[in-house]
Amino acid sequence: MKTQAGILSGRLQKAPENFLDREGIRKVIAESQTGRRTFMRHAFAAAAAGAAAPLALSQGNPVPVEGGDPYILNLPEHATALGQGVATDGYGKPSKFEANVQRRQSPGLTQTTQASVSFAPLQSLFGIVTPSGLHFERHHQGWWDIDPSKHRFMVNGMVKEPKVFTMDEIMRLPSVSRFHFIECGANTAVEWGNVAVPTVQYTHGMISCSEFTGVPLITLLEIAGADLKNAKFILAEGGDGSSMTRTIPMSLITSGEVLVAYGQNGEMLRPENGYPLRLVVPGVQGVSWVKYLRRIEVGDKPYAAKDEAVHYMDLMPDGTHRQYTNIQECKSVVTTPSGGQVLLDQGFYNITGLAWSGRGKVKKVDVSVDGGRNWRQARLETPVLSKALTRFNIDWVWDGQPAIIQSRATDDTGFVQPTYQQLRAARGTRSIYHNNAIQSWLVQQNGEVKNVQVS
Amino acid sequence: MSKCRNGWLAIVLMATATAALAQSTVYQGVGRLATAKEVAAWDIDVRPDFKGLPVGSGSVEKGQEVWEVKCASCHGVFGESNEVFSPLVGGTTADDVKTGRVAALLRPDYPGRTTMMKVATVSTLWDYINRAMPWTAPKSLKPDEVYAVTAYLLNLAYVVPDDFTLSDKNIAEVQQRMPNRNGMQTRHALWPDKAFNGTIKPDTANVACMKDCVPEANVASMLPDYARNAHGNLADQNRLIGQQKGADTARPERKGLAGALGVVTTNAAAKPTAKPADPALALLNKHNCTACHAQDRKVVGPSFNDIAKKYPSKTDYLMGKIKAGGTGLWGTVVMPAQSAPDTDIKTMANWLAMGAAK
């Protein structure tokens, strides 16, 4: 056992602090732009040359020479002694063996932690719900843990009577609980022009899905007597330092979809996610889900707030910017196997991933293992909910040859997730936001999976 | 007897009807009228038509004074710095002021996009500076200071002359000089209703082809080998068990085929539990030191490691420097005097003096 532990501690040694500096980033971009179109062919040749010995399909779980697995033959302490008592930890935590599953910053992406983002570890999550402690974060001016007894919510503007509510009052109103995804408009942004990051955590980790509990905003607007005939927009405003504001489409409010939420996955919102109150705007990019929500203003004109008039705008090839972007279009990604992972051997694998659409339900997901030439329809797991993450799975037997794995989602409007070529033909390569292109993962013959883009 | 029963029924029915009525009309006891004072305290937004803009004015010259004290440490003296945030100024020309379209946005080779290249509405600048700046003390500027800082920013981008005073009276005229005022469009499918010019079809119309859809796929882009470990060791970023493991990117990539790699095991060892973080680290965050300083690289100010190296064991000296602020030792950018409690400053200074171990 000692030898094995020694080998393992070697494999799992702590990563050094190793940031890609500016020069490094330039090199990455330059190299990728000089084109690696022939890479696949070269990779095939190199790998084939290196593989002189014929491959015997090895057994990942072989019978040890002693005639049995010591973990079976020698009863462990947990089977032969007394375990711990109830309420040892008043708020239970994940197993210590799950310490690798963390939300993480992308090195070099931002200069501060207060105006920054952390990415959810999609490669390690199951089903559709993101554990609240792993929910991605995006803060514009740092996060706070606000005393809920002092938090107030105001409705003003085109209303009969401007109103203020305490948390007690909001929580007295009829509540609803709904599963929805929240995706940052800049999710996958760094990949617009070329591959820039190694894993699905960094390519797609600015998405999470929770069960949110709260009050439909329309209820609160009706209490204030909002002029719903003449009002066309609302402004949502946060109570933190940035007091972030966004213009929200009225149709999503009158439909009852937009919630003033306090609950997340059965408990209160986490401070990093807006405790005690945030807006939930299903299908719309995360920047509109204003955290620490303090005010809604009802109005007849849009507001051109900083995060819709300077940021979260798509630069188009004609030099104009698209303002007031909202909907996150249909998108999917395979989370396993995905970039930075290693398949230890050939044989059976369960390809699994996530699909979603800001316009409704996911209708189907197709998966290719040959870079988009042929596709098979994946199994959608229940529940399949509107504007929520949907989990898909499909069987795959890896023959040890290079494979390029992709997924392609179709939503119930009939919209099919685009390729990079289609997206770039419409929006160019400088648009930063709203990248919903089909993702490709190259499974190499050595089992290592790489983030790639295909032509 | 039967009469009595009917009487009960009537009462029950009446009660039900009242409850239904109450629910459909008011949520009694929930919410109260906001006072004018309360609305004024919070309703600070300024729209593009300048609804919400307070009366006031500020000159370019006054703006420069405020800027150098409160803005330059992050944004640079001329709004050009990209050390903390994207640059605010640059990329606009006198011609853009005439046309209302920033020509550099058409150049794919142009290295970046500054705020002044993008923003179409002067109200957006005023509103955001007023609500969120300075970064570590948002909402501390008086309206006249917001006018002044906005004027200075516009002056740096050649939108207004050096002797200009921006006010609620002339801001609409300044709007007509914004370099990218004609650079916005709202006709797109990412807005869900008809508030802007109706609903448009999505940009792309992919088809869910299933067989022989494309010729052979070629890899057009992937990370170069030297970036292998740029995001830290990916082995530490994957669960220890499962159908896959994380690639050990601290080492060069393995040659050969999967399954023939040796060291294949399904028995995972736990990562040693990390030791608890030094309380000084939380304080450095709490007091926003990390806005300008990082552990191991220069941001606006020197790295904690460099400070620790220069002042070993000098807790008292470092306490004094944190409290008083200063300039000249590490560069020209001013470090403002810090008003954190003495006990906090001592913890942080001591941590630095003891080597700034993370």
- Is residue B135 pLDDT above 50, yes or no? yes
Residue A340 vs residues A9, A89, A206, B269: alpha-carbon distances, Å? 19, 34, 18, 19
Q: Quote the pTM value.
A: 0.83
- Is residue A15 pLDDT above 80, yes or no? no
Structure confidence at residue A18 (pLDDT): 32
- What is the nearest CA distance from B93 to chain A, expressed in angstroms? 15
A17 neighbourhood in chain B, CB within 8 Å? 295-296
Do the chains contact at A343 and B47, CB–CB below 8 Å?
Answer: no
Q: Residue A394 and residue A384: Cα distance in Å, rounded?
A: 16
Q: H-type helices in A293-373, by residue range? A: 306-309
Nearest CB to B195; choose among A106, A154, A233: A233
Question: Is the CB of residue B323 less than 8 Å from the CB of residue B309?
Answer: no
DSSP, res A120: -
Do the chains contact at B217 and A315, CB–CB below 8 Å?
Answer: no
Structure confidence at residue B150 (pLDDT): 98
Question: Is the CB of residue A110 less than 8 Å from the CB of residue A116?
Answer: yes
Nearest CB to A40; choose among B202, B219, B227: B219
- Residue B345: pLDDT band with limits 50, 70, 90: confident
Average pLDDT, rounded, for chain A: 89
pLDDT digits (tens, 9 = 90+) for B233-266: 999 999 999 988 999 999 999 888 887 654 444 3
- What is the nearest CA distance from B202 to chain A, expressed in angstroms? 8
Beta bridge partner(s), residue A449: A443
Check CB contact of A344 with chain B, cutoff 8 Å. Answer: yes
ipTM for this model:
0.85
- φ, ψ of residue B267 in degrees (nearest 5): -90, 115
- What is the nearest CA distance from B262 to chain A, expressed in angstroms? 10
B228 neighbourhood in chain A, CB within 8 Å? 198
Looking at residues B220-239, what average pLDDT do you find? 94
pLDDT digits (tens, 9 = 90+) for A230-273: 999 999 999 999 999 999 999 999 999 999 999 999 999 999 99
- Is residue A406 pLDDT above 50, yes or no? yes
Q: Is residue B61 assigned to a domain? A: yes
Check CB contact of B109 with chain A, cutoff 8 Å. Answer: no
- Greater confidence, A45 or B172? B172
B183 neighbourhood in chain A, CB within 8 Å? 319-321
Q: Is residue B349 assigned to a domain? A: yes
- What is the nearest CA distance from A379 to chain B, expressed in angstroms? 15
Structure confidence at residue A61 (pLDDT): 77
Q: H-type helices in A159-294, by residue range? A: 167-172, 200-204, 217-223, 250-254
- Is residue A381 pLDDT above 70, yes or no? yes
- Residue B296: pLDDT band with limits 50, 70, 90: confident
Structure confidence at residue B347 (pLDDT): 84
Structure confidence at residue A101 (pLDDT): 97
Q: Is residue B161 assigned to a domain? A: yes
CB atoms within 10 A of CB A152: 17
Check CB contact of A172 with chain B, cutoff 8 Å. Answer: yes
- Residue A4: pLDDT band with limits 50, 70, 90: very low
Nearest CB to A323; choose among B186, B239, B296: B186
Q: Is residue B115 assigned to a domain? A: yes
- Residue A60: pLDDT band with limits 50, 70, 90: low
- Residue B220: pLDDT band with limits 50, 70, 90: very high
Q: Is residue B312 assigned to a domain? A: yes
Average pLDDT, rounded, for chain B: 85
Structure confidence at residue A256 (pLDDT): 97
- What number of CA atoms fall less than 13 Å from residue A195's CA on the CB side? 29
- CATH of residue B347's domain is 1.10.760.10
Do the chains contact at B240 and A97, CB–CB below 8 Å?
Answer: yes
Q: Which of B188, B222, B261, B333 should one mutate to test binding to chain A, selecting the residue with the greatest count of A CBs within 10 A?
A: B222
- Is residue A352 pLDDT above 90, yes or no? yes
Check CB contact of A29 with chain B, cutoff 8 Å. Answer: no
Structure confidence at residue B23 (pLDDT): 43
Looking at residues A383-402, what average pLDDT do you find? 97
Chain B residue whose CA is closest to A25: B227
Tokens of A241: 């330092």
Is B24 exposed, middle or buried (CB count within 10 Å of its CB: 0-12, 13-18, 19+)? exposed
Nearest CB to A310; choose among B124, B241, B249: B124
Domain endpoint, select from B175, B196, B219: B175
Q: Which helix (H) or strand (E) holds B286?
A: helix B279-286
Structure confidence at residue B260 (pLDDT): 62
Structure confidence at residue B332 (pLDDT): 63
Q: Is residue B344 assigned to a domain? A: yes
Domain endpoint, select from B175, B191, B216: B175
Structure confidence at residue B293 (pLDDT): 80
- What is the nearest CA distance from B199 to chain A, expressed in angstroms? 12
pLDDT digits (tens, 9 = 90+) for A157-202: 999 999 999 999 999 999 999 999 999 999 999 999 899 999 999 9
Domain endpoint, select from B175, B210, B230: B175
- What is the nearest CA distance from A207 to chain B, expressed in angstroms? 17
Q: Residue A182 and residue A273: Cα distance in Å, rounded?
A: 11
- Is residue B138 pLDDT above 90, yes or no? yes
List the 287-316 stretch of B: residues with Cβ below 8 A of A: 288, 290-291, 294-297, 299
**What is the signed CA dihedral for B247, B253, B255, B257, rounded to 10 degrees?**
20
Q: Which domains does chain A have, with CATH numbers?
A: 133-322 (3.90.420.10), 331-452 (2.60.40.650)
List the 218-277 stretch of A: residues with Cβ below 8 A of B: 219-220, 223-224, 232-233, 235, 237, 241-245, 249-252
**Which domain does B104 fall in, by range?**
57-175
A445 three-state secondary structure = coil
Number of domains in chain B: 2
Structure confidence at residue B109 (pLDDT): 87
Do the chains contact at A31 and B224, CB–CB below 8 Å?
Answer: yes
Q: Is residue B107 assigned to a domain? A: yes
List the 112-171 stretch of A: residues with Cβ below 8 A of B: 112-115, 121, 123-124, 140-142, 154, 156-157, 161-165, 169-170
Structure confidence at residue B308 (pLDDT): 84
Tell me the one-letter amino acid at B1: M
Tokens of A271: 């401070």
List the 147-176 stretch of B: residues with Cβ below 8 A of A: none
Q: Quick one: what percent of chain B has pLDDT higher than 90?
A: 54
Q: Is residue B239 assigned to a domain? A: no
Residue B301 vs residues B68, B129, B304, B346: alpha-carbon distances, Å? 16, 23, 9, 19
Structure confidence at residue B13 (pLDDT): 47
**What is the signed CA dihedral for B63, B67, B71, B72, rounded to 10 degrees?**
140
Angle at A182 between CA A176 and CA A185, to 5 degrees: 145
Nearest CB to A447; choose among B108, B202, B258: B258
pLDDT digits (tens, 9 = 90+) for A110-156: 888 888 999 999 999 999 999 999 999 999 999 999 999 999 999 99
Q: Residue B69 and residue B280: Cα distance in Å, rounded?
A: 27
Nearest to B319 by CA among B298, B338, B301, B304: B338
